[in-house]
Chains A and B, each alone.
Chain A
Amino acid sequence: MTGLLKMEFRRLFKSFFFWAYPVIIVVLLIINKLSVNEKQDEIALTVVLELSTNILYIAMIVCGILMVSFWSKEDKHGYTKNILGNVSGRHILTIVKLITSTCVMLFYSVFNFIYCFVSYKIEFEKMVKTYRVYLYPESADLMPKGFEDRWISREQYDLETAEYFNRTIHRYLLMVLVGLVIMALIVLLYELLRSATFAYVMVILVSTKFIENLVLNLVALITDKIDPVAQNLLFTQFMYFDEYASVGEEMNPGLPLWTFLVRNIIYLAVLATSAILISKKKDSV
């Protein structure tokens, strides 16, 4: 399996498509750095925070398409036969697929992280230095009339912003975990049908929340409630991540972080195991 992993990574690194996404991210980062000026700081920060999780949808689509094209190329060119002749079963190839797609997803997430949070951190510190005095003066007396009760100390302000930043990072890391679950789902679907076209379509439909919206609408149509299903879906679960989030017309108390972790790790394990078992049950080519 080590040899197979080395071979797959060598092929990945030699592929132009693999590097396209990181290169685009780096170029975007450079452009952002060059174009941002102080007056735009607040807007830039909002955009960056919005982007922090949204950009992962793009990474999932790019990573999914890259991996499916990579696998289908092996199948199309008959190279899978060469591989399978030297391993003890197709399930080894499936394990390697799971490992490589996980690594690629994590690799892209690192670039996304640098793009979103490093730039956020730099911009944020710059903003704090420039505007903090005006936004949160030394005492409540210096606040505009009628806004005195909104005053918080600088220490409190720093604490709150740090907490917000941490929560955003947690949200981002959870989203990376969801990305890994989606990669495992794509491996499973590919092993199930061995159809690149089907896998491409599924990558797009899953990563753009189309399937989830379909499920939610169906559930709403049948039961008139979405809560029991919504909090277990890959993307909709984030509606329950914030402390008080609105789901439909109701306000829901946020769920603790560990519930998200456990749920997604279970999904990942079930999907990966299913993919391995299916590849064991079916003919290899």
Chain B
Amino acid sequence: MEYILETENLTKTYGKKTALNNVSIHVNQGDIYGLVGRNGAGKTTLMKIVCGLARKSNGGFSIFGRKDTELGDVAQRRGLLIESPGFFGEYDAETNLKIKCKLMGINDPEEPKRLVKLIGLEEAGNKKAKHYSLGMKQRLGIGIALAGNPDLVVLDEPINGLDPQGIMEIRDMICKLNKENGTTFLISSHILDELSKIATKYGIINNGSLVEESPAEELRNKCESRIELMTDNASRAIGVLERIGFSQFKVLEDGKINIYEQFDRTGDITLAMAAEGVTTLEIVRKLETVENYYLRLVGKDSE
């Protein structure tokens, strides 16, 4: 399978310190790839390398099927916002975007205006970018990354400094671009709750190593979410569960049943148990978030 972005045992060392250690990630066309990891885990280093801002020490990567040593024009198909947004403070948003469009070889005068609208900075008018709020600067950085309709957009902590409405707008924008244009995103964020709303694939990095890489669906399944059911008769309860379509469950020693699927059917379970004359003593839905899963995973790894 050909990936839009693939790293192979990517390693980066600064002196004796290893910032990235044999990291291999695989980003498919149309993915919103969430790169997860604590501060200093190596997320930004990985992004910097795939964007050509830092040199790898070992391993390699390919973008759109081209090896890192022979990227050529393919480099133009990526957009990036890494660490802080890069723009010229003495110019307004439109001029900054015009400059980026020039770099991308876009001469359409309407394009910067369209981008200003897309990132919601029309109201800023001629205000110089250096006088923008943190959120506005972040939006401008995203706009600059999106200039030229790149196929791969790398965003490092894109919602930093944004207010809740801004976060929602950026999230919607990413989803829209992903669905309508098929743009692939590689996003890092420490706000996992937000990332989990859009990510289609995750890469979890800890201490420079990739701990896990899996599609969002698979990861959600791996989260130890369950329905804890306590009845007056465990053996009859099992029969009821099987009849109403449950197969993934486990009976514990104290008679408690842990169900690992169809978490939204607690009502059905209660009704079915009552209909069969089984008394439900307790039914609790315990959902583990991706964040909790990550903490559990990284915690384990650290040990």
- Binding-face segment, B68-76, B243-251, B293-301: B68-76
Contacts of B71 in A (CB 8 A): 88-89
Residue of A nearest to B156 (CB): A81
Task: Count residues of A near B (Cβ-Cβ below 8 Å).
Answer: 27
Given contacts A82-B100, A284-B52, contact A87 B86 (CB under 8 A): no
Task: Establish whether residues B52 and A89, one from each chain, have CB atoms under 8 Å apart when the complex forms.
Answer: yes
CB distance from B28 to the nearest CB of A (A): 21
Task: Establish whether residues B87 and A81, one from each chain, have CB atoms under 8 Å apart when the complex forms.
Answer: no
Partner of B86, one of A2, A4, A10, A77: A77
Give bound CA distance, A138 to B134, whole Å. 82
Task: Establish whether residues A3 and B80, one from each chain, have CB atoms under 8 Å apart when the complex forms.
Answer: no
Contacts of A256 in B (CB 8 A): none
Given contacts A77-B87, A80-B86, contact A86 B78 (CB under 8 A): yes
* B131 on interface, CB distance cutoff 8 Å: no
* A170 on interface, CB distance cutoff 8 Å: no
Give bound CA distance, A284 to B12, whole Å. 14
Task: Establish whether residues A85 and B72, one from each chain, have CB atoms under 8 Å apart when the complex forms.
Answer: no
Task: Establish whether residues A79 and B55, one from each chain, have CB atoms under 8 Å apart when the complex forms.
Answer: no
Task: Establish whether residues B88 and A77, one from each chain, have CB atoms under 8 Å apart when the complex forms.
Answer: yes
Most-contacted residue by chain A among B105, B148, B154 (CB, 10 A): B105
Task: Establish whether residues B104 and A85, one from each chain, have CB atoms under 8 Å apart when the complex forms.
Answer: no
* A55 on interface, CB distance cutoff 8 Å: no
Contact residues of A between 71 and 116, Cβ < 8 Å to B: 73, 77-90
* B103 on interface, CB distance cutoff 8 Å: yes
Given contacts A73-B88, A88-B71, contact A81 B53 (CB under 8 A): yes
* A23 on interface, CB distance cutoff 8 Å: no
* B201 on interface, CB distance cutoff 8 Å: no
* A6 on interface, CB distance cutoff 8 Å: yes
Task: Establish whether residues B102 and A86, one from each chain, have CB atoms under 8 Å apart when the complex forms.
Answer: no
Task: Establish whether residues A284 and B53, one from each chain, have CB atoms under 8 Å apart when the complex forms.
Answer: yes
Residue of A nearest to B75 (CB): A88
Task: Establish whether residues B84 and A78, one from each chain, have CB atoms under 8 Å apart when the complex forms.
Answer: yes
Given contacts A3-B104, A11-B99, contact A84 B52 (CB under 8 A): yes
Given contacts A77-B88, A87-B52, contact A4 B103 (CB under 8 A): yes
Task: Establish whether residues A10 and B99, one from each chain, have CB atoms under 8 Å apart when the complex forms.
Answer: yes
CB distance from B281 to the nearest CB of A (A): 59
Task: Establish whether residues A81 and B103, one from each chain, have CB atoms under 8 Å apart when the complex forms.
Answer: no
Partner of B75, one of A78, A80, A87, A283: A87
* Interface 0/1 of A1-31, CB less than 8 Å to B: 0111011001100000000000000000000
Task: Establish whether residues B54 and A285, one from each chain, have CB atoms under 8 Å apart when the complex forms.
Answer: yes
* Interface 0/1 of B138-181, CB less than 8 Å to A: 00000011001000001000000000000000000000000000
Partner of B103, one of A3, A88, A90: A3
CB distance from B287 to the nearest CB of A (A): 38
Contact residues of A between 214 and 231, Cβ < 8 Å to B: none
CB distance from B39 to the nearest CB of A (A): 19
Task: Establish whether residues A7 and B99, one from each chain, have CB atoms under 8 Å apart when the complex forms.
Answer: yes
Residue of A nearest to B129 (CB): A77
CB distance from B150 to the nearest CB of A (A): 8
* A282 on interface, CB distance cutoff 8 Å: yes
Contacts of B100 in A (CB 8 A): 7, 82
* Interface 0/1 of B83-98, CB less than 8 Å to A: 1111111000000000
Contacts of A284 in B (CB 8 A): 52-55
Most-contacted residue by chain A among B78, B144, B148 (CB, 10 A): B144
Contacts of A4 in B (CB 8 A): 103
Task: Establish whether residues A3 and B105, one from each chain, have CB atoms under 8 Å apart when the complex forms.
Answer: yes
Given contacts A78-B83, A80-B86, contact A88 B53 (CB under 8 A): no
Task: Establish whether residues A85 and B75, one from each chain, have CB atoms under 8 Å apart when the complex forms.
Answer: yes
Task: Establish whether residues B52 and A88, one from each chain, have CB atoms under 8 Å apart when the complex forms.
Answer: yes
Residue of B nearest to A2 (CB): B105
Give bound CA distance, A78 to B137, whole Å. 12
Partner of A82, one of B48, B54, B89, B144: B144
Give bound CA distance, A85 to B186, whole Å. 14
Task: Establish whether residues A79 and B86, one from each chain, have CB atoms under 8 Å apart when the complex forms.
Answer: yes
Give bound CA distance, A2 to B86, whole Å. 21
Give bound CA distance, A138 to B53, whole Å. 74
* B79 on interface, CB distance cutoff 8 Å: yes
CB distance from B235 to the nearest CB of A (A): 62
Task: Establish whether residues A83 and B85, one from each chain, have CB atoms under 8 Å apart when the complex forms.
Answer: no
* B116 on interface, CB distance cutoff 8 Å: no
CB distance from A15 to the nearest CB of B (A): 10
Contacts of A82 in B (CB 8 A): 80, 86, 100, 103, 144-145
A-B contact pairs, 23 of them (CB 8 A): A3-B104, A7-B99, A7-B102, A11-B88, A73-B88, A77-B87, A78-B86, A79-B87, A79-B88, A81-B53, A82-B100, A83-B103, A84-B51, A84-B53, A85-B52, A85-B80, A85-B82, A85-B154, A86-B75, A86-B103, A283-B48, A284-B53, A285-B53
Given contact pairs A11-B88, A81-B53, a sample of 20 additional A-B residue pairs in the complex whose CB atoms are under 8 Å apart? A6-B103, A11-B99, A78-B83, A78-B84, A78-B85, A78-B87, A79-B86, A80-B86, A81-B86, A82-B80, A82-B86, A86-B79, A86-B104, A86-B148, A88-B71, A88-B75, A283-B53, A284-B53, A285-B48, A285-B54
